[in-house]
Every structure is written in structure tokens, then in C-alpha cells.
């Protein structure tokens, strides 16, 4: 589909493009699953695991055994090497992101933030249509770098089997608490606990629409990283862009699932048509053609002008933004809303999916307007630290008294005024 944006008013046509359709029937199904797991705990967890994953779960087999974990060591040596490279690069990037407690001093005052990790995290790795060891690394390593003491992994085990690639990735992260559970039932078990699954403080990791709705429902009882929607990419091109590279990157994102989205933006209408034609040719040769033939309907080719380019890019606020123009660093400063920015023809989003180092769990559905990628900060919390000497209190408290008076919170005022009076009388 092609869209022409010639003036600012046309940009409104983009506002609803990335919105996910609310499905009340799915929401009600998720609420039912959560409610039953809260009430019947293991009984409900085992029921839904058998219903959705064709796996007769019980207290003895819901958790991966040490013997099963060893199956991860049977994967091919070249796969082990690739995952180790990815693991180290992700770890190094996370260490650079790490924030530490800080304090500043004024006369008679110490102010700052005490930054500490959460105690226990539950990470979710999707299954079903594909296996995602990279998601295990991308979700667990930030938690490890943050200092989380306990990390549990949940992943669907269709017919009771977990991919050895998932198990090897988990072993790289020293995760031994692994549950054969998926979907909304896994999120509910992490959020509220069952006889077999210990509850967590925060749940992180992408999943399907059922997982997303479940995370939304349990938020507040437990922390979540974000609500990750279908994968999406925005590719900015010009007349110099290698059309086949742009087309490959578009197809790469569209193959995730039927709801994946792609946006191609350019000042050059001819290049847009060229890329669109190549995308269609590539799709016919891909192994996941059945998915691509549906998701390609979500591809939008946007022809705009230089005046509106920045507004178009930031209105879409895409998960992945690739700049494949002759002078990409002249476009880069215009991007304010993006999950990750890939600059130049040799920095495809697929590198970011696996081994670049920055996290591949990114804000989607225009949430890049206010959200950031998953990072060690996701697994950390901040406590403000405040210390006043008596003299500093004497100097600053009267201003707080005035604010308390205008807000008519007189107990607030009295908590300050009694101390001020004692200082004045010399009794404190």
C-alpha cells in the first residue's frame, strides 16, 4: 500500500496505523485464566498447560530437571559459539548502561538516589511458531548485570519438550529454574504464585497477544517490562539505497508473524516502487511464505517531502528504524521516537536482533514516544535519599509550611511546625 504525504495535515493518516486492535474476547479469556490460577493455582495451571501445549503437566514434570538442562549441551558447536558471542556483547553493553546510586550535598543536606535490584524476576521466552534463544539472553543478561538474585524462566513446552537451544542459552545465564509453561497461564503463575511456581517481583520478555493482555492485567500486583506488540520496522531510503538490502530487511521483520508491520519512507517515489516490487518477489521464495503473504498487507510505502520527513518518522515512532540513505548521519538527528536506530547500509536491524549488543526487546506500537528498550534499569528500582541537619531544616521547612497551608493539609503543617517551634524555644 502506498501513501502520499504532501502537507502536514496528511500526517494524521499515520496516527492509527500502528495501533493494535483491542480484542475483547481475548481479554476475557485472559482474565478467566488469571482468575482461575489465582483461585485454583496448580490445578488450573496444569489444566491450561495441557489444553494449550498438549502437555500433561504435574508437580514432578512442570519444572525442567537437571538431566533435561544437560540436553542444551548437545547443540551444535557453531551454535554454541554464536550464542556465546551474542551473550558477551549483550553483557558488555549492559555494563555500560548500568546506573549506580548517587548523592549530592548542599549545606546541611544530603540528597540522592539509592538504586537497588529487584529480588526476583520471571523472564518469558516465546515458543510455538519458532524458538528464541536470543530472547533468553536479551532478557536474562540485563537482569544479571542489574544484580537480580533469583531469575526464573518460563517457556512453552509443546508435548513437554523445550528446545535445546533455549536450554543452552539458559545455561549461559546460569538459569536452572525453568518452567514448562507458556501463555497467559505462565504470566499468572509468575504474578501470583502456585504450589509449584514461586511468585516474582517483575515479569519481562515478549510474547503473543495473550501474554501481552496477561501482563497488562497483572501489572500493579507485579512489575512488567513493557507491552510488546508485533514486530515492526521503518526503513528510510533515497535514490542511492540498495533496493535488495532494504527489501531483505523488510521481509526479515515481516516474517515474525501475521501482524508484523513495515514502513518504508522516502522522498523518491521511484525507489519506493522498486523496493515494493522486490519485496513481493522475495516473499515468494521464503520458507515462511504463509506468514509473509499475510503480514505483507501491513507494509506501507510512504512518499513524502523533505518538509514533512521528520514528522512522518516520529509519528510512526517505530520499534526499529533503519536509515539507508546516502548521508544517514544527516537524517539521524531528526529521529526522536524510535526503539533502536540502525545507521547505514551495513547496520541492518537483524544484527540488533542477535549480536550488536543493545537489547532487541523494544517499544512497539508508537510506544517509543515514551518508552525505552529493556535494560538493566528495567530490573532496578530507585529510592530517594533525604538527609537534613537541624539548621537546614530550620531554613527550608517554613517554605513547606506555606505549601501545606494552601493545600489545606494541616497535619502536614503541624508535623513541621512543632519541630520549628521546638527549635525556636531551644528545647530540641
Instruction: Write down the pLDDT at residue 8.
Output: 67
Report the chain's C-alpha Rg in angstroms.
26
> Are the folds of 2-19+229-355 and 24-228 the same?
yes
Confidence of residue 20 (pLDDT cuts 50, 70, 90): very low
- Point out which residues pair with 383 in neighbouring strands: 114
Indicate if the pLDDT at residue 16 is higher than 70: no
Instruction: Write down the pLDDT at residue 23.
Output: 78
Catalytic one of 232, 255, 274, 319 = 319
What is d(CA 296, CA 290) in angstroms, rounded to the nearest whole number?
10
What is d(CA 55, CA 164) in angstroms, rounded to the nearest whole number?
17
The contacts of residue 213 (CB under 8 Å, 6+ apart) are 26, 27, 30, 184
Residue 245 grid coordinates? 538490502
Domain boundaries, the chain: 2-19+229-355, 24-228, 389-425
pLDDT, one tens digit per residue, over 164-208 is: 999 999 999 999 999 999 999 999 999 999 999 999 999 999 988
For residue 127, the tally of other CB atoms under 10 A from its CB is 24
pTM listed for this prediction: 0.92
Indicate if the pLDDT at residue 12 is higher than 70: no
Instruction: Write down the pLDDT at residue 261.
Output: 92
Q: At what angle do helices 77-97 and 164-172 cross, to 10 degrees?
A: 40
In terms of C-beta density within 10 A (0-12 exposed, 13-18 middle, 19 or more buried), how is residue 78 classed?
Answer: exposed
pLDDT, one tens digit per residue, over 123-180 is: 999 986 568 999 999 999 999 999 999 999 999 998 888 999 999 999 999 999 999 9
Catalytic one of 68, 320, 322, 360 = 320
Instruction: Write down the pLDDT at residue 13.
Output: 65
pLDDT, one tens digit per residue, over 313-354 is: 999 999 999 999 999 999 999 999 999 999 999 999 999 999
Is residue 181 within 8 Å of residue 411, measured between CB atoms? no
Backbone angles phi, psi at 152, to 5 degrees: -115, 145
What is d(CA 265, CA 2) in angstroms, rounded to the nearest whole number?
10
Residue in the structure block whose three cell numbers are 524476576: 121
Q: Which CATH architecture is the domain 24-228 placed in?
A: 3-Layer(aba) Sandwich (3.40)
**Catalytic-residue membership of 412:** no
pLDDT, one tens digit per residue, over 73-104 is: 999 999 999 999 999 999 999 999 999 999 99
pLDDT, one tens digit per residue, over 41-55 is: 999 999 999 999 989
Is residue 124 within 8 Å of residue 154, measured between CB atoms? yes
Residue in the structure block whose three cell numbers are 535445546: 164
**Catalytic-residue membership of 320:** yes
pLDDT, one tens digit per residue, over 254-304 is: 998 898 999 999 999 999 999 999 999 999 999 999 999 999 999 999 999
3 state DSSP class of 97: helix
pLDDT, one tens digit per residue, over 403-423 is: 999 999 999 999 999 999 999
pLDDT, one tens digit per residue, over 368-391 is: 999 999 999 999 999 999 999 999
Instruction: Write down the pLDDT at residue 18.
Output: 46
CATH topology assigned to domain 2-19+229-355? Rossmann fold (3.40.50)
Amino acid at each position: 500500500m502506498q501513501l502520499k504525504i504532501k502537507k502536514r495535515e496528511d500526517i494524521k493518516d499515520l496516527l492509527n496505523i500502528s495501533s493494535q486492535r483491542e480484542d475483547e474476547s481475548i481479554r476475557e479469556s485472559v482474565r478467566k485464566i488469571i482468575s482461575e490460577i489465582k483461585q485454583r493455582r496448580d490445578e488450573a495451571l496444569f489444566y491450561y498447560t495441557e489444553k494449550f501445549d498438549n502437555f500433561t503437566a504435574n508437580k514432578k514434570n512442570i519444572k525442567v530437571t537437571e538431566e533435561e538442562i544437560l540436553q542444551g549441551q548437545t547443540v551444535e558447536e557453531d551454535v554454541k559459539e554464536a550464542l556465546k558471542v551474542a551473550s558477551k556483547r549483550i553483557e558488555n553493553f549492559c555494563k555500560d548502561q548500568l546506573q549506580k546510586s548517587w548523592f549530592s550535598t548542599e549545606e546541611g543536606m544530603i540528597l540522592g538516589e539509592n538504586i537497588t535490584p529487584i529480588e526476583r524476576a520471571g523472564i518469558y521466552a516465546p515458543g510455538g511458531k519458532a524458538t528464541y534463544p536470543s530472547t533468553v539472553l536479551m532478557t536474562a543478561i540485563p537482569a544479571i548485570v542489574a544484580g537480580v538474585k533469583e531469575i526464573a524462566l518460563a517457556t512453552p513446552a509443546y508435548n513437554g519438550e523445550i528446545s535445546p537451544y533455549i536450554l543452552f542459552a539458559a545455561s549461559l545465564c546460569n538459569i536452572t529454574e525453568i518452567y514448562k509453561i507458556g501463555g497467559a497461564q505462565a504470566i499468572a503463575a509468575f504474578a501470583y504464585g502456585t504450589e509449584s511456581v514461586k511468585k516474582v517481583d517483575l515479569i519481562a520478555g515478549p510474547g503473543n497477544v495473550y501474554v501481552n493482555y496477561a501482563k497488562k492485567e497483572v501489572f500493579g500486583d507485579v512489575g512488567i517490562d513493557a507491552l510488546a506488540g508485533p514486530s515492526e520496522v521503518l526503513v528510510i531510503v533515497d535514490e542511492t539505497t540498495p533496493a535488495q538490502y532494504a527489501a531483505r530487511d523488510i521481509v526479515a521483520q515481516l516474517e515474525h508473524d501475521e501482524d508484523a508491520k513495515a514502513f518504508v519512507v522516502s522522498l523518491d517515489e521511484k525507489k519506493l516502487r522498486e523496493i515494493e516490487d522486490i519485496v513481493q518477489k522475495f516473499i515468494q521464495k521464503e520458507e515462511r511464505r504463509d506468514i509473509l503473504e499475510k503480514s505483507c498487507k501491513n507494509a506501507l510505502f510512504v512518499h513524502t517531502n523533505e518538509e514533512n520527513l521528520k514528522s512522518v518518522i516520529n509519528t510512526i515512532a517505530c520499534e526499529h528504524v533503519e536509515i539507508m540513505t546516502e548521508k544517514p548521519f544527516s537524517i539521524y538527528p531528526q529521529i526522536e521516537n524510535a526503539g533502536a536506530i540502525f545507521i547505514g547500509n551495513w547496520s541492518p536491524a537483524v544484527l540488533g536482533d542477535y549480536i550488536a549488543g543493545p537489547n532487541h526487546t523494544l517499544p512497539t506500537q508508537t510506544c517509543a514516544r515514551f518508552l525505552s528498550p529493556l535494560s538493566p534499569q528495567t530490573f532496578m528500582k530507585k529510592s530517594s535519599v533525604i538527609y537534613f541537619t537541624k539548621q537546614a531544616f530550620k531554613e527550608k521547612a517554613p517554605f513547606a509550611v506555606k505549601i501545606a497551608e494552601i493545600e489545606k493539609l494541616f497535619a502536614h503543617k503541624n508535623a513541621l511546625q512543632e519541630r520549628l517551634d521546638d527549635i525556636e524555644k531551644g528545647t530540641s
